[in-house]
Structure 1
Amino acid sequence: MKHLVKATYLRLLLVLLLAWHLGGSIVAAATAHHWSAQHTNNWPGQAGTGKLLHLQDGLQAHRPARHLHQATPSANSLQQALQRMMAVPFATPRPVLALGYQGLEPDTLRNWHHLARTLATPGANVTIVTFGGSLTAEYIEYGEAWRSSLQGSWVEALLAWLKASFPGVSFNVVNASHGASDVIVASTCWYQYAPQDADLVLVEYSLNGCLDFGGIPLCSSTALLRVAHYESFYRRLLRRAPRAALMSVAAFAFAAETKVQGAASVTVPNAFRSTDQELHGMIARHYGAPMASIRDSLYGVIYNDAASQQLLGATRAALMADPWHPNAAGFRVWGDIVAYTVRQTLAAVMANGAAEPAALAAAAATAVEYGLPLPVSPVAAQQDTHTWCREGSSFQAVASCAGRLRGRCVWRTSDFNARCPHDNCRLRGYFMKGAGQALQISLDTSLDTSLLAAASNSTDGSNSASSTAAQFERRYLAVTYLQGSSMPASKMGAATLACIRSCRCKTVQMEWRVDTNTGIAATEVSLHPSCLVSITVAANTTTGGDEFAVTGVAVVPFSKAAQVSWIDAVDMAAVSAAGGQLPYSWP
């Protein structure tokens, strides 16, 4: 009798597991199918399939259902997919494309075998996420040279190549790019816009990541914030979407300066090192990600009109809307460069049978949580956990106007980059005008970092929530605001960030800066479940500007106890001493 009951129980268990497995796959496929049409309405604070689950609402409380069933194409299917992909031509000559390919050995590529298997499976759904500045967002209307760029960016060119290469696959693109931005806000907030089941994430923050408008280098050390946050962005992305294949896109400003030497004029190209490609590339390699270098592909061609006309079909002037942004013709070349790196990486993985990367598997035995290697940047190590953020639409509910005059503090969407269809292009926030106008923000700065770790744990790995809670016991309070291209100096006032009830923090002054396009200020804050913060506007005594727009707030767990080598300590001391070259106020 016992054996009969046991056998019946086992059969019932198998039936239930099979039903659950198939049901999860069907539901996940249906969800992925509808994402593309709905994602523009599904950002923070909005209902729908692609809704961002905030940390306090259970971010990553469960593993994405689609990953319960991994694609397992046959060797023949992989071979056919490889042959079909390699047969799709590029308009840009291969020697130009090959210069920009910064590839890795298949055994060192993180998650590209998952992507290759999915692409080789007819009927599969592939979610692609892109992050970057205006070069990736595009849809900017600025003078006649911009008109043709309203079609999109290199992302659309890449998507066209993917569809031609894998006609049996459905592609869903989430473009989370944001004009006039760098990686710091992305690392603090926007990484949470990536779906947990993302298949491929492309990261472009190099154009705004190295030199500020004053010519001061901001990418010469891993202790500098735009380098440190590039690594934090990678690490937080991989915790949020642990099966995503990552790839860096290193853009470049093809500017030139004309100098007069006697009776002749000489064109001097933008300095080859005027980019953060080298340190960003080092970080990408550390996490098993290839890089497509726009600079390396085009630098030796685009400044020579004859060579550019012959190889690219147009001169630099005909390809560029301005020194930073291509027009539609230029974006087709940029898209070819990115697609070529995707193709060569997939070709190497498919030729290897899309096998599990042996080098990463061996390294995982000594890796920290989620199979991640130790951080390269000491600053990234000090903030190596998830953040709590309310930015954009989700910010409205946690703040309220507190000024004396009605109508001088309103929630609205900026007109900046209004033609861009991607939701993260929209600049939403509280717009204040006039000295004395104020905004109050209520938040919990005591949030439990063990909950952040548990919420982000979408694998069955060795994540230790208790150790995370013990390590990152202190908090930064960060506020994002409009400045630079989105808020001109002539209009922008000054503002004071202060803690006014239940929590303590050092007051921070915020004003227009010449060295950044992304407004963000931070101060260390004490832990309290009901912290009340105020932002009060003052007129700019130099320009007379009295407008200020706040777009978000974040709580960033950190620790000063993170291990730092002697050379990192030297770099960090130099950065602290320089102070003024930091892109924003950060303790």
Structure 2
Amino acid sequence: MKWFEVFKQQWQDYHAGLQAVKIGDKSLLDLAAPLLLQNTTLVNPAQLRRSIGHMGGMHRLRRVLRDLQSGKQIKLGVLGGSISWGSAVERGTDDWFALLTAHLAAAFPAANVTGRNGCVPATPSSFMNMCLEQYLDEDVDLVFLEYAVNDGWDTHNVMKRKIYERLLRKVLSKPKHPAVILVQLPTVGMAYSSRHKDKTPFYKTVEDTYGSFAAYYDTPYLSMRNAIWRLAEHHHYQMNFTHFYGMSYDFVHPLEQGHRLIADMVLFAMQQALLDLQLHPWSVWDEEEAAAALPKPMYYGNWEEVNRLCTHGKAFEAVVTQSKGWQMVNEGDEFKPKFGYVTTQVGAELVITLNTTRRSAPELQRMNVQLAYLRSYTGLGMALVKCSGGCECQDTLVDGHHELRQSTIFLLRLYPTQAPACRISVTVQSESRSGGHKFKVTGVMANEFRSRGEHQHDEHEELNKEEWLGGVNKGEGELKERWGKAAAGALAAGSTSSSSSSGSGSSKSGSGPKASTD
């Protein structure tokens, strides 16, 4: 049988079950009515149950639902990449976060429900970890994190997990102790046909790894992969991925039907929490748990940093002190700007001047600085990054070229010594694997890592050993061989915390849908 012949009846049976159970003179259907799903036509109750990877104690989420019922003001926030930003749909109207915000505002008219979309396309969780204050309100009540796509599929990348944990801790530590829901979406290649040579299997994603943080910090975790896999991959009820992605240009960014599904996943989870609140009313224990201090980091010593600086786009101009041969240009449009300093001249030098003097734990001697630059598959060259002006850091040769057919912002992680006017220079080199010499720098971020007296690993070395996208960049060995020691860490160092807004799949040049994500 086909899905449209079955799902309607399954939902009717589900609602009838809620109608049959009463608390006082009201049925569970009446009590849950504000959150009954409005958009679901493509999944059944069983699939939405499968989307729930973890719910836990739900103390913070129960508090948000209690406040909604009481008519209090509720602020929502979402952090993630281009999918949640609203790529491929009408942003602010048809993206899942806009649908969710509008639905909650209509369902709880006495409450003042507002939402802020803080997603930044083509950025991983490491970017948001450095720039959180610019994209999330301090008094937010409920936050959604969507980074399983942008953080790639390398489940062995320990530093990415550590950075994700730091971001999660920063969000959970906001003044109102917000509820956090991890919304995990299928990574690049999962929605390809099973016959496609770059098909990504069910297990090749960081979402299961990140699920351990949901368990450790007791935050709900939802999975679109789990919700649709049996229907789309195994063709239950004669369905496939086009039912959920539409005729997407890359089968990474879903069209409207996919966004409606994501919104319904969240609404279904909130409905389960609301039903739980009816069966187990708010108590003093909920109050204590919702306000409890965070446990120590899951990864030993992985305390969240103190953010000091985040400049990108036009704001980046404020810290650039020399730009001869470079131009600040917008390679996007007014709706999706892509500002950055760009040059095609060999020898052109861009100089950024920062105060790298630490305000906390000065004995740690170094500041964590990340330089944001563009990588793409055509025309990009190499640049040498150095520190001077009283500060020191490892000279690093950065390659703007990669083989994946996507344009992505990467982060070069530097650990300069402390200085009031540290000069970071970016100089375009004559060497080029692509044949071109274009180089683009889009911003710089800085924060102060902490150890709180615990043993601190040499993270600079650890980060520079990290492989990018599971080691699929084939040019690394050739780069080391041709240009020596300075290049040895170029690809790995340059990608310590990076990925694409459409994920980190294995689509090689000339195969599979393009995923242009800059």
1:474 corresponds to: 366
Say whether residues 1:208 and 2:144 are aligned partners.
no
1:502 corresponds to: 390
User: Aligned ranges for residues 404-419 of structure 1 at < 5 Å?
Assistant: 408-415=325-332, 418=333
Post-superposition shift, 1:357? 4.8
Say whether residues 1:372 and 2:294 are aligned partners.
yes
Post-superposition shift, 1:430? 2.1
- Partner Cα separation in structure 2 for residue 205 and residue 353 of structure 1: 33
What is the DSSP-based 3-state SS (H/G/I as helix, E as strand, rest coil) of the residue aligned with 1:495? strand
User: Aligned ranges for residues 437-448 of structure 1 at < 5 Å?
Assistant: 437-448=348-359
Contact 1:292 1:337 in 2 (8 A): yes
- Partner Cα separation in structure 2 for residue 401 and residue 471 of structure 1: 31
Which AA in structure 1 matches 2:112?
A: S
Say whether residues 1:391 and 2:314 are aligned partners.
no
Say whether residues 1:231 and 2:165 are aligned partners.
yes
- Partner Cα separation in structure 2 for residue 296 and residue 137 of structure 1: 22
Q: Which stretches of structure 1, 4 residues or longer, exceed 4 Å deviation after superposition?
A: 79-82, 86-90, 147-151, 266-269, 356-360, 470-473, 559-565, 571-583
- Partner Cα separation in structure 2 for residue 578 and residue 257 of structure 1: 31
1:102 corresponds to: 53
- Partner Cα separation in structure 1 for residue 311 and residue 238 of structure 2: 42
Contact 2:166 2:304 in 1 (8 A): yes
TM-score (norm 1): 0.66
Post-superposition shift, 1:543? 1.5
- Partner Cα separation in structure 2 for residue 172 and residue 103 of structure 1: 26
Which AA in structure 1 matches 2:177?
A: R
Post-superposition shift, 1:373? 0.9
1:184 corresponds to: 126
Say whether residues 1:220 and 2:150 are aligned partners.
no
Which AA in structure 2 matches 1:396?
A: E
Pick from 270, 278, 302 the counterpart of residue 342 of structure 1: 270
Post-superposition shift, 1:103? 3.6
Q: What is the CA deviation profile of residues 388-417 of structure 1, one whole-angstrom value per residue up to 9, with x for unaligned ones?
A: 1222243221113332xxxx42223331xx
Post-superposition shift, 1:269? 6.0
Which AA in structure 2 matches 1:229?
A: I
Which AA in structure 1 matches 2:67?
A: T
Q: What is the CA deviation profile of residues 487-542 of structure 1, one whole-angstrom value per residue up to 9, with x for unaligned ones?
A: x3322221222112121111122212457933111122111222222122224522
Post-superposition shift, 1:345? 2.7
- Partner Cα separation in structure 1 for residue 197 and residue 238 of structure 2: 15
Which AA in structure 2 matches 1:278?
A: D
- Partner Cα separation in structure 2 for residue 292 and residue 101 of structure 1: 5
Pick from 423, 428, 435 the counterpart of residue 339 of structure 2: 428
- Partner Cα separation in structure 2 for residue 505 and residue 268 of structure 1: 39
- Partner Cα separation in structure 1 for residue 103 and residue 148 of structure 2: 23
2:97 corresponds to: 155
Pick from 227, 234, 237 the counterpart of residue 307 of structure 1: 237
Contact 2:62 2:273 in 1 (8 A): no
What is the DSSP-based 3-state SS (H/G/I as helix, E as strand, rest coil) of the residue aligned with 1:525? coil
Pick from 168, 185, 189 the counterpart of residue 251 of structure 1: 185
Q: What is the CA deviation profile of residues 110-156 of structure 1, one whole-angstrom value per residue up to 9, with x for unaligned ones?
A: 5324412321233x33221111111111234xxxxxx7789542212
1:19 corresponds to: none
- Partner Cα separation in structure 2 for residue 209 and residue 562 of structure 1: 30
Q: 1:507–1:149: structure 2 CA closer, same or farther, 3 Å change rule?
A: same
Pick from 293, 315, 324 the counterpart of residue 252 of structure 2: 324
Contact 1:182 1:226 in 2 (8 A): no
1:44 corresponds to: none
Q: What is the CA deviation profile of residues 29-48 of structure 1, one whole-angstrom value per residue up to 9, with x for unaligned ones?
A: xxxxxxxxxxxxxxxxxxxx
- Partner Cα separation in structure 2 for residue 574 and residue 479 of structure 1: 18
Post-superposition shift, 1:331? 1.8
Pick from 515, 534, 537 the counterpart of residue 425 of structure 2: 534
What is the DSSP-based 3-state SS (H/G/I as helix, E as strand, rest coil) of the residue aligned with 1:482? strand
2:214 corresponds to: 284
State which drifts further: 241-250 or 316-325. Answer: 316-325
Contact 1:97 1:297 in 2 (8 A): yes
What is the DSSP-based 3-state SS (H/G/I as helix, E as strand, rest coil) of the residue aligned with 1:440? strand
Q: 1:209–1:346: structure 2 CA closer, same or farther, 3 Å change rule?
A: farther
Post-superposition shift, 1:547? 1.9
- Partner Cα separation in structure 1 for residue 274 and residue 331 of structure 2: 40
Q: 1:504–1:109: structure 2 CA closer, same or farther, 3 Å change rule?
A: same
Q: 1:344–1:220: structure 2 CA closer, same or farther, 3 Å change rule?
A: farther
Q: 1:318–1:149: structure 2 CA closer, same or farther, 3 Å change rule?
A: farther
Post-superposition shift, 1:192? 4.1
Say whether residues 1:558 and 2:449 are aligned partners.
yes
TM-score (norm 2): 0.74
2:480 corresponds to: none
Q: 1:227–1:118: structure 2 CA closer, same or farther, 3 Å change rule?
A: same
1:263 corresponds to: none
Say whether residues 1:131 and 2:22 are aligned partners.
no
- Partner Cα separation in structure 2 for residue 114 and residue 359 of structure 1: 8
Q: What is the CA deviation profile of residues 59-80 of structure 1, one whole-angstrom value per residue up to 9, with x for unaligned ones?
A: xxxxxxxxxxxxxxxx99xx99
**Identity value in percent:** 20
Say whether residues 1:165 and 2:87 are aligned partners.
no
What is the DSSP-based 3-state SS (H/G/I as helix, E as strand, rest coil) of the residue aligned with 1:189? helix
Q: 1:258–1:236: structure 2 CA closer, same or farther, 3 Å change rule?
A: closer
What is the DSSP-based 3-state SS (H/G/I as helix, E as strand, rest coil) of the residue aligned with 2:151? coil
Post-superposition shift, 1:245? 1.0
- Partner Cα separation in structure 1 for residue 287 and residue 460 of structure 2: 32
- Partner Cα separation in structure 2 for residue 560 and residue 342 of structure 1: 37
Post-superposition shift, 1:168? 2.4
Which AA in structure 2 matches 1:302?
A: A
Contact 2:162 2:302 in 1 (8 A): no
Q: Which runs of no fewer than 5 residues in structure 1 stay unpaired?
A: 1-74, 141-146, 212-217, 260-265, 365-370, 450-468
Q: 1:560–1:89: structure 2 CA closer, same or farther, 3 Å change rule?
A: closer
Contact 2:119 2:135 in 1 (8 A): no
Which AA in structure 1 matches 2:423?
A: L
1:115 corresponds to: 64
Contact 1:81 1:166 in 2 (8 A): no
Report the count of equivalent residues: 441
- Partner Cα separation in structure 2 for residue 471 and residue 284 of structure 1: 33
- Partner Cα separation in structure 2 for residue 240 and residue 360 of structure 1: 16
Q: 1:586–1:575: structure 2 CA closer, same or farther, 3 Å change rule?
A: closer
Q: What is the CA deviation profile of residues 4-27 of structure 1, one whole-angstrom value per residue up to 9, with x for unaligned ones?
A: xxxxxxxxxxxxxxxxxxxxxxxx
Say whether residues 1:544 and 2:435 are aligned partners.
yes
Which AA in structure 2 matches 1:154?
A: W
Q: What is the CA deviation profile of residues 462-494 of structure 1, one whole-angstrom value per residue up to 9, with x for unaligned ones?
A: xxxxxxx378553222111222xxxx3322221
